A and B are shown apart, each in its own frame.
Chain A
């Protein structure tokens, strides 16, 4: 088979261009390395450029929620070029290195944080066959890379030679390290059910989207990913309206921009990961299930002519739906205090997640092999609802006891009662 421009362009549109090149040059040395490099460049450029759109989207949506118009001057009626102008402004700003800063740490931190944010995309499945590497430890890889980003915060906080920056870094690390625990534990449930840690494998195993099967795990993962990306209501690390902005207070220009870049890239990544693990990723599990129930074969997107394009569209539709919820929460929720945040994590999320993992693991063993996917999903859903209801009941009793105690306290402190004694 020789090179044909028409076929090449067609494969480009169908997202099968790598397979096409491999089929033309089989066993040629260096082809794999070139393809790998091209893939890395394409994915990371995409991630960096889409941030421009994400920032515009966030400002516009938040503005609408707050009954404002949002950016509407630069780049036409919708202010589409506002972020481009902002980036140009950031790039031309003066770069200041504070006196006494640890130059090595100070300069390394912004780069390292962007690198860790980009590295995670290596295992993100965009469509059938469109993935960096389908590692058999995919989810574990994501967790381990995201734990490295904690180091960057310490580098930035320490390197700035500023007490506020250092304190901000301590708070950030306390938050990130704490919320890593429920995040990892909540991911155990889908991994148990899928019996694999590969991201493509988890999509393939979802006959019923895990959002409908183990909704508690999905909610816990979502809340802890809010905390891991430092977004509202967990943005007390930056809290731009209250304190001096936390660990990146001393950064100027594009170095400051890189922290924001990393935040947006990892927020989009977390949306994509949620869509992949709990909503079926690029696949359409419910349609596939209906086709199977109707007596046909399950949907196989990779066998359809433009299946990869459909997969890509489905993936981005789901990802941006989740991303919209991130923005929605930012537009409507107040901020936590740090003691509330840590109490919420250690006294509520972690015990609940451990109970959930036990429930899912035991049920998974108890349900006999050969039970249909729908029945299996129904049993898991019911168990999740029961665990959720028990949790609410415990919370209600605790709240009631605290309220009664507070009332009794207030009663004892009333001056007229004291005078009557």
Chain B
């Protein structure tokens, strides 16, 4: 086992372990903290893959924004945060079924359709050796891929439109109506 594999196993263990804590803990605040640790583990996996941009984006978006939003939501909606409600509901069978199906689908897609990239190395085979220049120029390449017509400009713009619509919708919902202002 190489050093890299050892680190990978450690990081994966932390990610999955904290993920388990998220769904089993009764204390919602601690569950949210564990979720942050889990996100951090995913960021560490990105670092191992030499994609610093994704790692930083993971930190900024998931820990810096989404987790904070979730903590705020918990703090504002629960009267006391150390609620003693059980985190489990009565549908373990259905959940298990869905999880297994999704996992099988992901594995099937990865195994069947993966060799889209550079050289046709299959998943679960050896790690593809990429030249260092790929990683050095990865951010400009990402930028060009997003906005060039040959790249992904259409999905990128559609996603932007969706976000813009959601933003306007949020403002419209939060806008005070005239009755509220008078009250």
Interface of A toward B, CB cutoff 8 Å: 102, 104-105, 135-137, 140-141, 143-145, 147-148, 150-151, 154-155, 158, 166, 170, 173, 177, 180, 197
Asked whether A144 and B59 contact (CB < 8 A) given A158-B81, A173-B68, the answer is yes
The answer on a CB contact under 8 Å between A145 and B67 is no
Residue of A nearest to B64 (CB): A147
The answer on a CB contact under 8 Å between B71 and A154 is yes
Residues in A whose Cβ lies below 8 Å from that of B36: 151
Does B16 touch A at the CB level, under 8 Å? no
Does B14 touch A at the CB level, under 8 Å? no
Does B33 touch A at the CB level, under 8 Å? yes
Residues in A whose Cβ lies below 8 Å from that of B59: 144-145, 147-148
Could you tell me the dominant secondary structure of chain A's interface residues?
Answer: helix
Distance (Å) between the CB of B85 and the closest chain A CB? 18
Instruction: Report which of A136, A145, A158, A166 forms a contact with B136, defined as CB distance below 8 A.
Output: A136
CA distance A177 to B136 in the complex (A): 31
Please name 8 further chain A to chain B contacts, defined as beta carbons within 8 Å, in addition to the given A143-B56, A154-B68, A170-B72, sorted by A numbering: A102-B30, A104-B30, A135-B52, A143-B60, A148-B59, A151-B36, A155-B33, A177-B65
The answer on a CB contact under 8 Å between A140 and B56 is yes
Distance (Å) between the CB of A351 and the closest chain B CB? 14
The answer on a CB contact under 8 Å between B56 and A150 is no
Does B75 touch A at the CB level, under 8 Å? yes
Instruction: Report which of B30, B68, B75 forms a contact with A177, defined as CB distance below 8 A.
Output: B68
The answer on a CB contact under 8 Å between B63 and A158 is no
The answer on a CB contact under 8 Å between A105 and B33 is yes
CA distance A166 to B78 in the complex (A): 14
The answer on a CB contact under 8 Å between B52 and A147 is no
Residues in B whose Cβ lies below 8 Å from that of A173: 68, 72
The answer on a CB contact under 8 Å between A144 and B29 is no
The answer on a CB contact under 8 Å between B63 and A197 is no
Q: Which 5 A-B pairs have the closest CB atoms?
A: A147-B64, A144-B59, A144-B60, A144-B56, A137-B52
Within 8 A of A (CB), among B128-177: 136, 138-139
Q: How many residue pairs bridge A and B at CB < 8 Å?
A: 59
Residue of B nearest to A147 (CB): B64
Question: Which bracket fits the contact residues of B?
Answer: 20 to 34
The answer on a CB contact under 8 Å between B139 and A136 is yes
Residues in A whose Cβ lies below 8 Å from that of B33: 105, 155
0/1 interface trace, chain B 22-46, chain A, CB 8 Å (1 if under): 0000000110010010000000000
Residues in B whose Cβ lies below 8 Å from that of A148: 59, 63-64
Residues in B whose Cβ lies below 8 Å from that of A135: 52
Residues in B whose Cβ lies below 8 Å from that of A136: 52, 136, 138-139
Within 8 A of A (CB), among B45-65: 52-53, 56-57, 59-60, 63-65
Distance (Å) between the CB of A117 and the closest chain B CB? 15
CA distance A151 to B57 in the complex (A): 16
Instruction: Report which of B52, B67, B71 forms a contact with A141, defined as CB distance below 8 A.
Output: B52
Residues in A whose Cβ lies below 8 Å from that of B138: 136
Residues in A whose Cβ lies below 8 Å from that of B29: 102, 105, 158
CA distance A136 to B136 in the complex (A): 7
Interface hub of B52, B63, B64 (most chain A Cβ within 10 A) = B64
Interface hub of B56, B59, B65, B136 (most chain A Cβ within 10 A) = B56
Residue of A nearest to B58 (CB): A144
Distance (Å) between the CB of B25 and the closest chain A CB? 12
CA distance A137 to B33 in the complex (A): 26
The answer on a CB contact under 8 Å between B68 and A150 is yes
CA distance A355 to B62 in the complex (A): 27
Residues in B whose Cβ lies below 8 Å from that of A155: 33
CA distance A67 to B57 in the complex (A): 47
Residues in A whose Cβ lies below 8 Å from that of B52: 135-137, 141
CA distance A170 to B68 in the complex (A): 11
Distance (Å) between the CB of B22 and the closest chain A CB? 15
Instruction: Report which of B56, B60, B68, B136 forms a contact with A151, defined as CB distance below 8 A.
Output: B68
Residues in A whose Cβ lies below 8 Å from that of B81: 158
CA distance A141 to B52 in the complex (A): 8
Residues in A whose Cβ lies below 8 Å from that of B136: 136
CA distance A104 to B53 in the complex (A): 31
